[in-house]
Amino acid sequence: MTVNSRAKGKNGELELAKFLREHGVTARRGRQYSGGDDSPDIVCALPGIHFECKRVERGALYDWLEQAKTDAGQKIPVVAHRRSRKDWVAILPLDDFLNFIVKPETTDGTEQN
């Protein structure tokens, strides 16, 4: 990886951490403290979430998601992506997304609170 690529990756991770903090989530760049290759891109106060940060114009969505799944372990893999002059987006498996938003039903067909 070139120095320029590393700097761009670092800047994207810092930008994402700042975005999360501005939205009420305690977050920091994972590698800034430990410096190891096994550090997550973003360490945050969202339990069970593993962020993979991609700040590029073009890329391979499914390759990114596969990388996030590999690195996530038991956590939910989320790829945070942003192009220049565009909003951040979160990319995650649909079944994981549905687990966030769908309330489980009771045996009688009513929603649980």
Domain limits, the chain: 3-101
- Tokens 């565009």 -> residue: 86
pLDDT < 50 stretches in the chain: 35
Query: What is the rounded distance in angstroms from the CA atom of residue 18 to the CA atom of residue 28?
Result: 8
* Integer CA distances (angstroms), 48 to 15, 57, 91, in order: 21, 28, 15
Provide the whole-model pTM: 0.81
Query: 11 near 55, Cβ under 8 Å?
Result: yes
pLDDT number for residue 9? 86
As its CATH architecture, domain 3-101 has 3-Layer(aba) Sandwich (3.40)
pLDDT number for residue 108? 62
pLDDT number for residue 3? 67
Query: 47 near 22, Cβ under 8 Å?
Result: no
Query: What is the rounded distance in angstroms from the CA atom of residue 89 to the CA atom of residue 41?
Result: 16
pLDDT number for residue 51? 94
Query: What is the rounded distance in angstroms from the CA atom of residue 91 to the CA atom of residue 86?
Result: 15
pLDDT number for residue 110? 61
pLDDT number for residue 30? 87
* Integer CA distances (angstroms), 45 to 21, 82, 105, in order: 10, 21, 28
pLDDT number for residue 103? 74
Q: Residues 6 or more apart from 76 whose CB is under 8 A from it?
A: 48, 49, 50, 92, 93, 96
